[in-house]
Structure 1
Amino acid sequence: MKKFRGISLVAGVAALGLTLSGCAAPEELTPTETTEAAAEETTAPLITVAWNDIASDFNTSSAAGNNVSNSIPAYLSGSGFNYYDNSPALVKNTEFGTYELVSEDPMTVTYTINDAVVWSDGTPIDGADMLLSWAAMFGYGKDAEGNYLFQHAAPREDLASKLPTVDGKTLSFEYDIPYVDWELQFGIGVSAHGTVMMAYPEITDPAEAKAKLIEAIQGNDLEWLKAVADVWNTGYQHTDTPENPLVTLSSGPYMVEELVADQYITMVQNPLYTWGPKPKYERITIREIADSTAAIQAVENGEVQIASGQPTADVLALVQALTNASYETGDEAAYEHIDLTTNNGGPFDPASYGGDAEKARKVRQAFLLSIPREQILENLIKPLNANASLRNSILLIPGSPNYEAMVAESGVADYLGTDAENLEKAKALLAEAGVSGTIDVEFWYPEGNVRRGQQFELIAANAALAGFNLIDESEPDWMFTDPSVNPTNPHDAVIFAWAATSLAVTGNDQQYGTGKPSNFSGYSNAKVDALLEELNSTLDPARQFEIQLAVEQEMWKDAYSITIFQFPGLAWWETAVDGVSLNPLVPYYFWNFWDWTPTAG
């Protein structure tokens, strides 16, 4: 369950589904003419690439599975109605299917999957698969305690409560409100028949499994659906090659062939895939190499053809010194930030001060002010990008149309002094709050992440001057993000990045809304909840910014979170490979894997 979280949880995980390993061998499938032709076009047997972590969950729509490391194999083995190029611009994938806004009042959309599109076991991808995605995505069904049956990363029961119409390979449904990001909201996830057949092994016919799922959802048979939801929630979690081939069914160019925990995942071309560009490599192996220096060495030695990592000045210098590789730098649509936990009985929880919310707020603000943002930027980021600046907005990307206005009016100005000035403010706030002595702060960062470790050291040293004692609670598995393990975040402060998967306007309610599944630190503000709900159906750009500004004014006042910097991106690859380019959005350099081409000779 290792995780590097992704931000636009409602948008970027539309195309999932993985396969092979333990599945019927490729030679047992009946090849079509297209499959045979595609095999002749394959120009290389294998490309090996590096990433800092390996997949551990094949359902990237689930709360536990929604992270970048899982989304990359899902992208390689999935298909969907659209994707982002590296402009970034939204590209419709009409070879997979089509979608249409058929009515604006009520807002009604229709999705149709093309006839040739099938799962890697030959089962048609159809309305049952879309209905399963709809049920999970839109919060269909709750248990006796009021919990969602399907533990989606961003369930949106507020958007589409009316049952869809299913007709073969077509699904139509209505939105309850005019929803701004409707084009990004919906997509295919894991297979319907595979999920049902894992829940009910006595069902062996995919058509029967699909029919029973449709009947259960349309008939509101929550008792029967409970087993299906349990599989959807946790049945796709595997750190080694799954024995059951249903776990890794593919809807895209590649299928899972082998997964070895903490080492690598190998994917092989799906012989039934005909509805999109064919990749130039028969197999892709993604090796887990967490250390960027080791990834550079692997490319230099020819063990890995493409790699990426969190860049430091030393890493960039080593990449530039490679004689057998090209590289590219650029900003990613991800930003570093620190969240403070407000409901775990720690130093930032009002309960620790007899319910005194204002006292807890001042302690939170003091801690955020003690974070040496300037020093972090100067020491760790500017050596990579001399023009880098602090990110001073929670919701808006630097350079976006309203960014400067947001910074001027949001209240972030309270945090924009020098590190030295902010440190004095922090001391004064603690004195105002009547808090003296050393304040222990249990601080989490992902173990093994060099840059985060460096940030921890800088923060610990500076915060100590204000009276905070940081306790290192680093661990590699991001357990605080899994509510089944930690219903309440045990750490007082966590540092990680929200990584954008789309250019959606909405979706922030899933991170900052009260009780939302990606709100890991107990933040709750009724005004913020109402504003973000309004944003979902606000089509006027001017009003959208007014809402976003009001949200940030509340959040900066609450002293819940602080932004630090926009992620610098860096990828390097052997000159023996052409077609590699960065994308600021997830899945980063994997976005056009079908263009990767071995160079002649």
Structure 2
Amino acid sequence: MPKFLKPTRRAFLGASASALGLALLPGQRAALAAAPKHGGTATFLISAEPPVLTTIAHTAFNSVFVSAKVTEGLLTYDFDLTPRPLLATEWSVSDDGLRYTFKLREGVKWHDGKPFTSVDVAYSIATIKEVHPRGRNTFLNLTDIQTPDPLTVTLVLSKPAPYLITALAAPETPIVPKHLYEGTKAAENPVNNAPVGTGPFVFKEWVRGSHIIYERNPDYWDAPKPYLDRLVVRLVPDAAARAAALEAGEIDLAPATPIPYSDLQRFEQLPHIGFEKQGYQYSNGISRVEFNLEKPYFQDVRIRRAFAHVIDRNVIHDTINYGYGATIPGPISPSLTKWFVGDLKTYPIDIAAAEKLLDEAGLRRGDDGIRLKLNHDYVPSGETYKRGADYIKQALARVGIDVTVRSQDFATYTKRIYTDRDFDFTFNGMSNLFDPTVGVQRLYWSKNFKPGVPFSNGSKYGNPKVDELLEAAAVEIDQAKRFKQWQAVQEILVEDLPDIGIVSQPEITLYNKRIAGHTVGAEGASGSLADAYIVT
């Protein structure tokens, strides 16, 4: 087995500071050059009420932004996804990629005073494998978890998992206290709503529909952090209200492009507001048009290709997204640079070609000019999806496709798409995450069509060659071979078109310039905020 990897504290801080310096304005870099200050309250904004406050059994968007304030992971990551120590101080991977051994940090305590040990790690990872929506795939090849002593954990795999070392961040793989979870159903445990962790902040209260309060952990293992005395999370579902609160200086930190894109240019001119585009390397979101391949008409690839000749991703980028983000030719975001293929086949906007394909598929215009009537359900997650759906309706009308746009709340949308299968096509967003085996495979692997499981293979796409490539890439430890496998997957997908990649999501954190140290790695604002402090 190779020697343990033990990054030095100096190297970790140097890399983080360098990367952060590239991301911030000169004034912010100067502020970070000064010593962080203790004290003060920071206000953190999210757009909707999270269903739970931990991500042990949940991947809800807003839960991800709060979980790591209390519960930590084994590792954290630089902007380039290089792993760094957190609850684990050293780690090694066997030459065959089947054993991952972690040395844990000494002297760490849970917020209730109990000691943190290897049994907590073993319980958490075993539970995540069983109940976490993505953990089932992440830890698919995990066969045993060994805890030879209180500060050592070894994960034993049946096959290599080359992405695994990047999957251990707090928002994705949180470590929770076994003594508070054991013997319960993890997804239903009340501790999820009043979390107990090892992190820099201690949960204080959750007033539904209003706010969540966290207070400084005075016994945090990484003293003198955290620097903030209190973190108040405000829940503001209305976009106009979020913009007003930011402009008024009532909010210090607001992730995930919290205001309408139409307001961004004006906000860039506000002297007290900063824009941070780093800190989303762990998510890498895209938007896409997804077809329901159980519908007879979408089983004909000519019809799907006709849609691709009509739906102009440049219009969505330039008009709907106000120029933010980037158009994409396939299923992977250009932000995921190790896996992105930019020269994939595309379908130029060509109304005549679309009309010809539809005619050939037997969808000729009726006396009223209509070829087909369809329902379009967009994901209710921001104004861009509604506006994008309206544009798609107008675009398809040019070739005789009569579209009814349907709106609904998030729970109804999720049930309609993934449980009831009562949709024709949808405009939605998905995260590629930190590795395509975790974030992309779930959408195209035939074995991952599971009615009732959200954010899985919603199209019911199946191609034996794609399945073979996906399964091979999931265990391939040679990076060059693995890239070739994913390149082949992308090339097949743009031929088969179970969906149409549209744009990479322009994720931006807006912040009040009085706060610094909030974005220090790939998790960004979904990280712990242990380094955040008030400048003035």
TM-score, with normalisation over the residues of structure 2? 0.79
- Could you tell me whether the CA contact under 8 Å between 1:57 and 1:70 is conserved in 2? yes
Find the residue that maps to 2:154 and give its secondary structure: strand
Q: CA RMSD in A?
A: 3.2
Find the residue that maps to 2:384 and give its secondary structure: helix
Which residue is 2:26 aligned to? none
1:512 equivalenced with 2:459 (yes/no)? no
- Could you tell me whether the CA contact under 8 Å between 1:81 and 1:92 is conserved in 2? no
- Could you tell me whether the CA contact under 8 Å between 2:199 and 2:528 is conserved in 1? no
Distance 1:402 1:173 in 2: 26
1:68 equivalenced with 2:50 (yes/no)? no
Which residue is 2:188 aligned to? 235
Change (3 A) 1:544 1:278: same
Distance 2:478 2:489 in 1: 17
Which residue is 2:45 aligned to? 50
Match of 2:313 among 373, 379, 404: 373
- Could you tell me whether the CA contact under 8 Å between 2:163 and 2:435 is conserved in 1? no
Which residue is 1:543 aligned to? 481
- Could you tell me whether the CA contact under 8 Å between 1:426 and 1:466 is conserved in 2? yes
Match of 2:154 among 160, 164, 172: 172
Find the residue that maps to 2:376 and give its secondary structure: strand
Which residue is 1:440 aligned to? 373
Distance 1:440 1:124 in 2: 61
Cα-to-partner distance string for 1:379-408 (whole Å, 9 max, x where unaligned): 134x445xx6421131352683674xx343
Distance 1:399 1:183 in 2: 16
Match of 1:119 among 93, 105, 110: 110
- Could you tell me whether the CA contact under 8 Å between 2:379 and 2:413 is conserved in 1? no
Cα-to-partner distance string for 1:102-135 (whole Å, 9 max, x where unaligned): 5324621222322322221222232332222332
Find the residue that maps to 1:594 and give its secondary structure: coil
Change (3 A) 1:396 1:115: same
- Could you tell me whether the CA contact under 8 Å between 1:370 and 1:463 is conserved in 2? yes
1:395 equivalenced with 2:327 (yes/no)? no
User: What displacement does 1:542 show?
Assistant: 2.6
1:487 equivalenced with 2:437 (yes/no)? no
Residue 262 of structure 2 aligns to which amino acid in structure 1? D
Which residue is 2:76 aligned to? 83
Find the residue that maps to 1:281 and give its secondary structure: coil
User: What displacement does 1:596 show?
Assistant: 2.5
Mapping 1:383-462, distance limit 5 Å: 383-385=322-324, 389-395=326-332, 397=334, 400=337, 403=340, 406-408=341-343, 410=344, 412-413=345-346, 415=347, 417-418=348-349, 421=350, 423-436=351-364, 437-447=370-380, 449-462=382-395
Which ranges in structure 1 are unaligned for 5 or more consecutive residues? Answer: 1-40, 140-149, 200-230, 237-241, 349-356
Find the residue that maps to 1:268 and give its secondary structure: strand
Distance 1:76 1:249 in 2: 10
Residue 316 of structure 1 aligns to which amino acid in structure 2? L
Distance 2:354 2:517 in 1: 50
User: What displacement does 1:188 show?
Assistant: 4.0
Find the residue that maps to 2:232 and give its secondary structure: strand
1:250 equivalenced with 2:250 (yes/no)? no
Deviates more, 1:461-470 or 1:587-596: 587-596
- Could you tell me whether the CA contact under 8 Å between 2:306 and 2:355 is conserved in 1? yes
Change (3 A) 1:246 1:596: closer
Change (3 A) 1:46 1:330: closer
Which residue is 2:164 aligned to? 182
Change (3 A) 1:73 1:312: closer
Find the residue that maps to 1:104 and give its secondary structure: coil
Find the residue that maps to 1:397 and give its secondary structure: coil
Which residue is 2:266 aligned to? 318
Give the total of aligned pairs: 481
Which residue is 1:574 aligned to? 512
1:264 equivalenced with 2:211 (yes/no)? yes
1:466 equivalenced with 2:402 (yes/no)? no
Which residue is 2:292 aligned to? 341
User: What displacement does 1:442 show?
Assistant: 2.7
Residue 179 of structure 2 aligns to which amino acid in structure 1? H
Residue 487 of structure 1 aligns to which amino acid in structure 2? T
Cα-to-partner distance string for 1:159-208 (whole Å, 9 max, x where unaligned): 122454553342223221232123124544333222225x2xxxxxxxxx
Change (3 A) 1:346 1:47: farther
Distance 1:376 1:331 in 2: 24
Deviates more, 1:454-463 or 1:562-571: 562-571
Distance 1:277 1:452 in 2: 43
User: What displacement does 1:515 show?
Assistant: 3.6
Change (3 A) 1:295 1:582: farther
Change (3 A) 1:440 1:275: farther
Change (3 A) 1:305 1:103: closer
User: What displacement does 1:501 show?
Assistant: 4.3
Find the residue that maps to 2:461 and give its secondary structure: coil
Match of 2:235 among 260, 263, 288: 288
User: What displacement does 1:334 show?
Assistant: 2.0
Which residue is 2:8 aligned to? none
Change (3 A) 1:478 1:553: farther
Distance 1:276 1:57 in 2: 28
Residue 50 of structure 2 aligns to which amino acid in structure 1? A
Find the residue that maps to 1:463 and give its secondary structure: helix
Identity in percent: 19
Residue 159 of structure 2 aligns to which amino acid in structure 1? I
Which ranges in structure 2 are unaligned for 5 or more consecutive residues? Answer: 1-35, 365-369
User: What displacement does 1:458 show?
Assistant: 0.8
Which residue is 1:556 aligned to? 494
Which residue is 1:35 aligned to? none
